[in-house]
Structure 1
């Protein structure tokens, strides 16, 4: 009997260790309830912690039932030694989000890794004088493993790791003037022995703006009512509920915005260098047949999306923007580059923000997506 108990305890302890390789918390300081993981993934795909622990995916306001994000993750693309196009994706089109070894979820962390939390608030139980915001989440992960650490499970289709490590910090505040966004700050380091050239860094997001008190997760039409857009001057991709019948129950925007970056040449931003660009791509969820809005299924196609945005096509404003405002199930990617070559030991700091806002009521239907409707988002 003692041997049986010992075996049970050993198995239980081992399973706990495995479970801690993927850790999630959600933001509570601001008015955004956003789930963040220790692999740089945001949102919980209305799965896992959503069902088991009652975590929001991305609620705004946080005490409402209005969700805004299915999931999202960091993308890093480069030419290995100037030849091979390779892209590491932290998340991509998957109907149930992250699971161990699933293709497209290519970052991992050592067994026992956790998402750390600290706060600049003196009365917080996790107060730390080094904290940046009222609630920081901190994690370290990498793309070097091709088998999920602590398991025998391969990471599917993860054939060309860039050999990068990522230090992530997310920030949110409870100030009334800063409670509508979460900042995602990444330091990406080349820990391999190959040069990474023509580097592009982006953040991919699968947004879904729905009121769960009106529409149940997974119900008919739940995922196919999003309208999309991109504001070039702000380097911001956004989504809203374009359902003319139900949009009055949501009336909000969610967006992914590039803030800026630093590499060995200095601060990088499109406003400072015309050769450094912000690229916007959107596509039909998991659709491989649309000639323009297709889901990129391999590294070559993903690198092409990262380095050649729809916003540089001549028909972007006249045809693409009106088209993507209509209700559908799309994901979007905001990518930036090219960055200076990332030699072994070099790093790049890059920051994105998840920004949410109420939609201003101008009397126009939801799919109109007028400047007045976006006025709170862009102010």
Structure 2
């Protein structure tokens, strides 16, 4: 024991400085909008085990709570030539079947700070005057640690160090036009004592678009259905499900280079870096800024350019050299065979786009930007990307639309990418990094990014259930919103949305919700001009568990018991028709509430006898999911606290569970796969998945049940039939 303690003490002395610095590994989920993205303080993104553990945090899920994932894992790559002539690439993630492993090669960025959150939302616990978006996450990491913080695990590949610190910032908003992307900004500081030359910065990823709740495929079959592509004008790589047949909405997922800034050592000035300004770089004798998309096979390929890059030289080459490489299309006379090159590029893009249809779509992706000519010691290189998702339009939903990839199917993806660009640009309307005349909206003399017109804030919403009816109450906080661009308080009105039965099974219930009512201010050119009197309460109301003052009320009746409905109330502004500024609306997902109509708790049988529906239950009822663990049968008219038991005709107990109206929010797999935490249940109903206590399916037949009131000991009985 003394020898062990001495060894630990010696190790601590040898590595003490490294052991005491930095922060432990952390991860957080960006989820303020309609995308759920896991971020870390180690330079990588996503949750690699999301296929095997779909009920945990999302990896890169869109729509949120749909089960449709778009990412296995992604990581920051930084490549450069050091002063000793060595080309090195520092990677936050690389090709691995297991994803992140502490201390493993390829995971070369070490936590330096914990993850902190800031928000501009007034009701957020992270509210801060320093926040930029509705959900900022800030952290930092380095490549200089000797061991991983708070461990004795050696840092991988110390010989490949660049000497860098990265301050990472993620930004997300819940506006309808921003809720499908997350912006990631990297401030990369050279903390070594020597310059870096010919620097490239990129994001490596394993993009995989599958519904992890409904697919039955795993292993290679899960990963090889991908279609891949690149939108040249938007500098964006993307992927889609081209061959999977699970029940799911059809979506795109990818990421784009938005822009960068670096300090030009020749002038000492910060300089904007983007392909849009390539001509100015060439005119100054510098390499033109460009983006470079690369793909390679997970399982290897006879072509070395399409196999995994193993060395830093190979990784740097992937960042710097395109594929197909134009150098290979030089004719004997030295001229460039443009026709042959363009044909090769078209064929390669077609292979990527259609590979998933043949179960050959298991590609890894890298999108890099560069070259940044030189980064001196102490200088900071700021590079910004955006993770972007989108639905395919309705015409491209269903299995027939799944493999289609064209401009029409990409319409919403392109729109979301343009909004990511617009959000990043802020006042930079010309996208040239210069504050041109007429662009200084807030007149502060500074080019402000992330400055966009904002709709009013989302109203605070509460939903109360009555049998067959949902009663919506909301506050008037949205009416005080001030647009940061115009400086005006421009609230106009409210819109009320509701989904229909069955909209939840495709995983897109929020977007399926349709407008059922609108109320807005009279006397202008926006909206219906029908006023707010029809929904305004004579006096604001509060609730025993809620001190919020609610000023508006709306009833939605005719709801069917057992089905899930989503309700949302949005606020919209009046816009400015004369200036060509459209009316903007708050997000449906920001305050969406899911409700399950049904019976309230019944203290005794005299108030209503317990029962079961549907009865008989036929396999694959309309509201069931696609597996035997996502089925539902409801017990109704239950007491506030009850014990429920199900028996065979022989008297054998096959299932037993308790019900508590005060705490029950749905406990079966169905709720994990097709619902979300913000749901309201009626209190007198309990869903059962028709599985025995041993997890077995019940056979066709007649079953008996008892319901015992745990407050009065009253017992009620009944029976139901299962037909398979």
Do Structure 1 and Structure 2 share a fold, with TM-score over 0.5? yes
Does the residue aligned with 2:378 lie in a helix, a strand or coil?
A: coil
The residue number in structure 2 matching 1:270 is: 275
- Assess, with a 3 A threshold, how the Cα gap between structure 1 residues 370 and 283 changes in structure 2: closer, same or farther: same
Q: Say if 1:238 and 1:256, in contact at 8 Å, map to a contact too.
A: yes
Instruction: Report deviation, 1:90.
Output: 0.6
1:1-379 mapped onto 2 (5 Å cutoff)? 21-46=24-49, 51=53, 54-81=56-83, 83-110=85-112, 113-216=113-216, 218-219=218-219, 221-243=221-243, 245-246=245-246, 249-265=248-264, 266-273=271-278, 275-285=288-298, 287=300, 289-310=302-323, 313=326, 314=341, 315=343, 317-325=345-353, 326-327=355-356, 328-362=361-395, 365-379=401-415
Q: Deviations over 1:50-104 (max 9, x none)?
A: 8498211111011211111111111000000172110000111111111110110
Q: Say if 2:34 and 2:64, in contact at 8 Å, map to a contact too.
A: yes
Instruction: Report deviation, 1:47.
Output: 5.7
Q: Say if 2:54 and 2:67, in contact at 8 Å, map to a contact too.
A: no
Instruction: Report deviation, 1:250.
Output: 3.7
Instruction: Report deviation, 1:317.
Output: 3.5
The residue number in structure 2 matching 1:11 is: none
Instruction: Report deviation, 1:123.
Output: 1.1
- Assess, with a 3 A threshold, how the Cα gap between structure 1 residues 52 and 33 changes in structure 2: closer, same or farther: closer
Q: Deviations over 1:90-124 (max 9, x none)?
A: 111111111110110100024xx421111111110
Q: Deviations over 1:288-318 (max 9, x none)?
A: 6433311111100000000012266424542
C-alpha separation between the residues in 1 aligned to 2:21 and 2:53? 20
- Assess, with a 3 A threshold, how the Cα gap between structure 1 residues 51 and 114 changes in structure 2: closer, same or farther: farther
C-alpha separation between the residues in 2 aligned to 1:233 and 1:354? 16
Q: Deviations over 1:32-64 (max 9, x none)?
A: 01111112311010269x849821111101121
Unaligned runs of 5+ in 1: 1-16
C-alpha separation between the residues in 2 aligned to 1:272 and 1:26? 34
C-alpha separation between the residues in 1 aligned to 2:272 and 2:289? 11
C-alpha separation between the residues in 1 aligned to 2:86 and 2:363? 28
Structure 1 range deviating more: 50-59 or 329-338? 50-59
Q: Say if 1:92 and 1:204, in contact at 8 Å, map to a contact too.
A: yes
Instruction: Report deviation, 1:20.
Output: 5.8
Unaligned runs of 5+ in 2: 1-19, 265-270, 280-287, 327-340, 416-724
- Assess, with a 3 A threshold, how the Cα gap between structure 1 residues 249 and 316 changes in structure 2: closer, same or farther: farther
Structure of greater relative contact order (alpha carbons < 8 Å, 6+ residues apart): 1
Q: Deviations over 1:115-146 (max 9, x none)?
A: 11111111101111100100011001111124
Does the residue aligned with 1:105 lie in a helix, a strand or coil?
A: coil
C-alpha separation between the residues in 2 aligned to 1:108 and 1:20? 9
The alignment's C-alpha RMSD in Å is 2.4
C-alpha separation between the residues in 1 aligned to 2:237 and 2:311? 23
The residue number in structure 1 matching 2:460 is: none
C-alpha separation between the residues in 2 aligned to 1:214 and 1:301? 38
Does the residue aligned with 2:90 lie in a helix, a strand or coil?
A: strand
C-alpha separation between the residues in 2 aligned to 1:294 and 1:103? 17
TM-score normalised by the chain length of structure 2: 0.47
**Paired positions, count:** 359
C-alpha separation between the residues in 1 aligned to 2:239 and 2:344? 17
Q: Say if 1:262 and 1:268, in contact at 8 Å, map to a contact too.
A: yes
Instruction: Report deviation, 1:159.
Output: 2.5
C-alpha separation between the residues in 2 aligned to 1:91 and 1:188? 17
Q: Deviations over 1:172-195 (max 9, x none)?
A: 111111100000001001000121
- Assess, with a 3 A threshold, how the Cα gap between structure 1 residues 19 and 81 changes in structure 2: closer, same or farther: closer
Structure 1 range deviating more: 75-84 or 162-171? 75-84
Structure 1 range deviating more: 219-228 or 324-333? 219-228
The residue number in structure 2 matching 1:9 is: none
Instruction: Report deviation, 1:276.
Output: 1.1
Q: Say if 2:23 and 2:111, in contact at 8 Å, map to a contact too.
A: no
TM-score normalised by the chain length of structure 1: 0.89
Q: Say if 1:46 and 1:217, in contact at 8 Å, map to a contact too.
A: no
Q: Say if 1:279 and 1:311, in contact at 8 Å, map to a contact too.
A: no
